[in-house]
Every structure is written in C-alpha cells, then in structure tokens.
Amino acid sequence: MPRSSKTQTPGEVLQSYIDNYQTNAFALSKSIKVAYQSVTNILKGKGRISVNIAMRLGKFFGNATEYWLDVQSSSEIAELSSSVKFTKILKSIPKAVKPKGKAPVKAAKEKPVKKTGKKKIAVKGKTFKKTKTRKAGKK
C-alpha cells in the first residue's frame, strides 16, 4: 500500500536510532532481551512495535514508551488512510446522533450503612458479628 511520504515506518525510525547509537539489530535484541527476529521483523516492516517492545526500547534509548507507540500508531494510521478500500468503509459508517429530549438515567443511590461499635461480616447474604479469635497456643 502507498504510504504518506511524511510518515516514517517504525522500522525506519528504529534503524535511525540503531545508526545514531552505533549499534546493530543483534546487539539491540540482546540488550533489550527480545528475540533477534523480533527486531529484524520491525526493521523489515513485517513486525510491529508492541507495548512490551516499546517499553524496552524506551528504557534502552532513554525516551518514553509512548514515543514508540506513537511511531507505530502513526504508521498504521498513514497506511489505513491511504487505503482506498478502508476509506470507502469509513465513508459508509454513519455518525452517531444523541437522542433529544430524554433525561439521562440516574444511578440508584446506595443505602447508608449504620455504624455501630461492633464490626459485622456479610457472608452469602447473612451478617455475623466479628469476634476476636485466639492465636494458636495462647489461652
């Protein structure tokens, strides 16, 4: 699919970091403790940057997890936006309309709990008074 010329793929962004830090895919994969294939798939455009990998890349390169997730989501948005099929699907989806004149449903109020000096425990609909228990071996 054609891609916007402005948006870099996650693989291109990751490759620029690898180049700037003078490392390679193998060393990166060992450093962030993921399979070498995971890194190379991202670099080749076959894999995506998951939250798991984004957290590791953020830790390694000293930036935010959200940065790496934004790189991934921006790439996916650009790819879908350029898809003729997806654009047709979006055009066919109607916009939701809020109904007029109906009051919002109010949540039921909880009954206030009567406070007493004794603690009570509810088990399967029955209420019991909490009593002190003795520790084993002490009388």
> What are the E-state strand segments in the chain?
120-123, 126-129
Kindly state whether residue 40 falls inside one of the protein's structural domains.
Answer: yes
Kindly state whether residue 137 falls inside one of the protein's structural domains.
Answer: no
Amino acid 7: pLDDT: 85
Residue 50's CB is within 10 A of a number of other CB atoms, namely 15
pLDDT digits (tens, 9 = 90+) for 15-42: 999 999 999 999 999 999 999 999 999 9
Residue 9's CB is within 10 A of a number of other CB atoms, namely 19
Kindly state whether residue 130 falls inside one of the protein's structural domains.
Answer: no
Q: Which token pair is 131?
A: 């009593």
Kindly state whether residue 132 falls inside one of the protein's structural domains.
Answer: no
Q: 122: which DSSP letter?
A: E
Question: How many domains is the chain partitioned into structurally?
Answer: 1
Q: Which domain holds residue 42?
A: 10-90
Rounded to an integer, what is the distance from CA 51 to the centroid of its chain? Answer: 6
Q: 125: which DSSP letter?
A: T
The CATH number of the domain where 53 resides is what? 1.10.260.40
pLDDT digits (tens, 9 = 90+) for 43-93: 999 999 999 999 999 999 999 999 999 999 999 999 999 999 999 999 999
